[in-house]
Every structure is written in structure tokens, then in C-alpha cells.
Amino acid sequence: MSRTWLFQLYMGTLHQRKNSLRVHLKDKKMVHAARTSMIQDLYAKSPPEGMEELMGSKLLHLFSDIKTEEDFAISVFVFEKNISD
């Protein structure tokens, strides 16, 4: 079974609102949850409109993590079939 794993690295992901949220809440876990588990749950229920059509394959899984202090994140999208064809 061939699957495609697409990796995306995001630098400077915390725009001004999220930066102030991080500072005011002083709770890195909340920012982390919003950028990881909440996004993963959202994508599991409904991938972004047009994503699967664009890729020509069903999105199976999304793994994501963020380092709030370093302000970078990574997402790993796992698609059902090989998208390089």
C-alpha cells in the first residue's frame, strides 16, 4: 500500500493575536492545544474544502506540533494514495 506523507514546516506561525494570547494567558498548553489537537480534530471531521480534490487523494491523518517559544510548527499530512503520479 502506497501512501504519501507531506511535511509542512511553518516559521513565525504565531501572528500578533496568538502572541498576545500566549502572553496574556501565560499558558503554553492552551496555545499548543489550539494549534495541535484542535486543528487535528477539525481536519478529521472535515478537511479544508478542495484539499482532497487538489491532491487527488483522501486525507487519512494529520499530525501536528508547535514549539511556542521558538514560534515554529510542523504538520504532517498523510494521504491515502501516492500523489506523485
pLDDT tens sequence across 29-59: 777 888 888 889 999 999 999 999 999 999 9
Query: Which pLDDT belongs to residue 53?
Result: 93
| Residue 21 lies in domain | 4-79
What integer is the mean pLDDT of 12-27? Answer: 59
pTM listed for this prediction: 0.74
pLDDT interval class at 17 (50, 70, 90): low
Query: Which pLDDT belongs to residue 77?
Result: 93
Cell 499558558 sits at which residue?
Answer: 27
- 16-25 vs 28-35: helix crossing angle, rounded to 10: 140
Number of structural domains, the chain?
1
Does a structural domain hold residue 85?
Answer: no
Does a structural domain hold residue 75?
Answer: yes
Does a structural domain hold residue 84?
Answer: no
Contacts of 84 (CB under 8 A, 6+ apart): 4
